[in-house]
Amino acid sequence: MNDRATWFCLAFLLLIPQALMAAEKPNIVFIMCDDLGYGDVHCLNPKHGKIATPGADALAKQGMTFTDAHSGSSVCTPTRYGLLTGRYSWRTKLQSGVVTGFAPCLIDENRPTVASFLKEQGYQTAIIGKWHLNFQYCNPDSGQPYSAKQFKSPPVGSKIPDGPVARGFDYYHGFHHARDMQTVIENDTVIEHSEPINMLPRLTRKSVEYIDQHAGGKQPFFLYIPLGSPHTPILPTQAWQGKSGLGDYGDFVMETDHVVVEVNKALERNGLTDNTLVIFTSDNGCSKAAGIEKLAEKGHIVSAHLRGSKADIWDGGHRVPFLVRWPGKVAAGSTCDQLICLTDWFATAADLIGTEVPAGSCEDSVSFLPALSGETITSTRAGVVHHSVSGHFAYRQGPWKLALARGSGGWSSPNEKQAGKKGPQAQLYHMTDDIGEQDNRYLSETSIAEQLLQQLQADIERGRSTDGPKSENDTKKINLWKSEKN
């Protein structure tokens, strides 16, 4: 064999491991519902869950159910920030509430996202759905940003310089947030205006099309599907109206669950099921706009055995459905009761493909990959921080949860104003013995409360809750005791 032939053979042999590694990288489909309560998924709430959710139930049967998974916040924007960055959103200027668009992106342009990271690792990345992390709508001719005062809906042709395609996604199709759902965006451009009732069918169709189009590709894909449902406006299409027997909300949950059914059909049809990791979750608990009390009268309890709902610091606000299917890697019908947070997705994605997280990222992210094979999660984080709509903090470590609020810290009664100053200034619950958060031990277990408070303060001051070099929060104005200012 001559030198040239020898060189080609060596080069070919060196490429084989790389090709094998590329082939082993799974596709990833991450479906995140909007305002879907823990008890809205039938298999998680068989006694008091009256809405049929065959798509989610099938995932649970085929994969793993996490029973102690939490969103990064009990409302939309902060959870989405944490999912994509591996960092709690309260480390930014957003200390409470959500963003409303027509403003620069909350994710700094220099901060890695899980999308930009996976893209660098050879993935095709796409988001089909709701962004809700702010971006600007600009005049396509002048480049000047429009303001919300100028337009209820930005004009068709408006350009978006700092949206998903500027934060690591190759492809974007969707909308910004619920009040601007009529504005349809593709990549960096507003492409049309459409009635909000058309959005869920659109996202379903586009997700399936994406899978079909990328089925034969050489690159693995990361498809992030942040749905806008069953958040308000609660708009089930005609085909789903009356299906649940529980009114529009139940119908809308069923139509939302049908996205899972259609995505699974697309994966199966294209022979992708075995090499695709599918995750199904929600950004927070069910909203009061769903008519929680009326649903309860009909036997459906949106938060199952948990106290509270969307916006609250109680677990009904942020303990979320979390189902994982990965055939051959995750045991069918398995359950995990280990504590995780949606901020953990970034570190898990890196662990999944055997790569370190990039510098300047994942300050609050711990890989839950070991849990998928039934092992214990190795964590350098002492606990998980919870956050309510009004910015009230809670800290969870092991079975103990300290909430720095007198009431719900959100919308449920008693809220902070209703709670007043008569009772304890904080709440401490043993979540194993008292998952419904009824027995406040703050005054009787003072040493435990103080220990959790000190750990929360340390996690805030270090700019991170995991091991690593000290990081900086984006703001110095992080107030732990918000109710004490009322």
Checking DSSP bridges between strand 221-226 and strand 124-130, what pairing results, if any?
Answer: parallel
pLDDT digits (tens, 9 = 90+) for 270-299: 999 999 999 999 999 999 999 999 999 999
Alpha-carbon torsion (187, 193, 196, 199), positive or negative: negative
Contact between 410 and 482 under an 8 Å Cβ cutoff? The reply is no
Is the link from the previous residue into 145 a cis peptide, with omega within 30 of 0? Answer: no
Alpha-carbon gap, residue 139 to 152, rounded angstroms: 15
For position 485, what pLDDT does the model report? 63
Alpha-carbon gap, residue 330 to 313, rounded angstroms: 31
CATH of 384-462, one of 3.30.1120.10, 3.40.50.2300, 3.30.70.360, 3.40.640.10: 3.30.1120.10
pLDDT digits (tens, 9 = 90+) for 309-359: 999 999 999 999 999 999 999 999 999 999 999 999 999 999 999 999 999
DSSP class per residue in 299-343 = T--TTTTSS--TT-SSGGGTB--EEEE-TTTS-TTEEE---EEGG
Confidence of residue 421 (pLDDT cuts 50, 70, 90): confident
Contact between 300 and 291 under an 8 Å Cβ cutoff? The reply is no
Domain 27-373 -> CATH class: alpha beta
pLDDT digits (tens, 9 = 90+) for 212-238: 999 988 999 999 999 999 999 999 999
| Tokens 């009772």 -> residue | 423
For residue 349, CA distances in Å to 66, 84, 286, 342, 442 come to 17, 11, 27, 12, 37
3-class secondary structure, 355: coil
For position 483, what pLDDT does the model report? 85
Residue ranges matching CATH 3.40.720.10 in the chain: 27-373
pLDDT > 90? residue 95: yes
Q: Among 5-9, 34-38, 60-64, 251-255, name the one with the lowest average pLDDT.
A: 5-9
pTM over 0.85: yes
pLDDT digits (tens, 9 = 90+) for 10-64: 444 444 333 333 448 999 999 999 999 999 999 999 999 999 999 999 999 999 9
pLDDT digits (tens, 9 = 90+) for 156-201: 999 999 999 999 999 999 999 999 999 999 999 999 999 999 999 9
What is the 8-class DSSP label of residue 69? Answer: E
> Phi first, then psi: what are they for 126, rounded to 5°?
-145, 145
Residue ranges matching CATH 3.30.1120.10 in the chain: 384-462
Q: How many CA atoms lie within 13 A of 212 on its CB side?
A: 10
CA 319 to chain centre: 11
Contacts of 196 (CB under 8 A, 6+ apart): 181, 182, 233, 235
Token pair for residue 15?
A: 């490429």
Element (H, E) at 258: helix 248-269
